[in-house]
Amino acid sequence: MAIRLIVKEPDEVLHKTAKTVTKITPNVQKLLDDMADTMYDAEGVGLAAPQVGILKRLIVVDADEEHGLIKLINPEIVSMEGEQFGPEGCLSIPGLNGDVRRAETVTVRGLDREGNEVTITGSGLLGRAFQHEIDHLNGVLFTDIAEKVYEYTAERSETGE
């Protein structure tokens, strides 16, 4: 496993649509493992393959204790319920946060690293993380959909503003 370089905005790879993974190979599994290591090293809660410069439909998320680390291949949102509105940041856009409106609860379907179909429902931060990372697979950044974008400060993050 290895820590990969996180691609930063305005790199054009962040604005492209990732390709469907058609075969799960040892390289795909290693990439998922590397993405998890990279996410933890950067103290993030999610990471999509385009953020490490690879246009494949892969995400890793670790946003709650109940589910722990989730590695998904070809994830798609199959249902959305409710609404949440709050701050988001991104490892590819350091120094900025934005107020983003998202579904409160989402159900995501994809394949695990072994190719088994999995369906996971997440609310709150996990639901937000799923939506944020799947947006990355479609070339959408939180700054594209935020109602307000502002510089990140420690004071804001502590108060939730």
For residue 104, how many other CB atoms are within 10 A of its CB? 15
- Angstrom distance (rounded) from CA 15 to CA 141: 8
First-to-last alpha carbon distance for the chain, in angstroms, is: 36
| 90 marked among binding-site residues | yes
User: Which one is catalytic: 9, 43, 88, 133?
Assistant: 133
| 8 marked among binding-site residues | no
Question: Is 104 tagged catalytic?
Answer: no
| 120 marked among binding-site residues | no
Burial class (CB in 10 A: 0-12, 13-18, 19+), 137: buried
Residue ranges at the known binding site for Fe cation: 90, 132, 136
Which positions are catalytic?
133
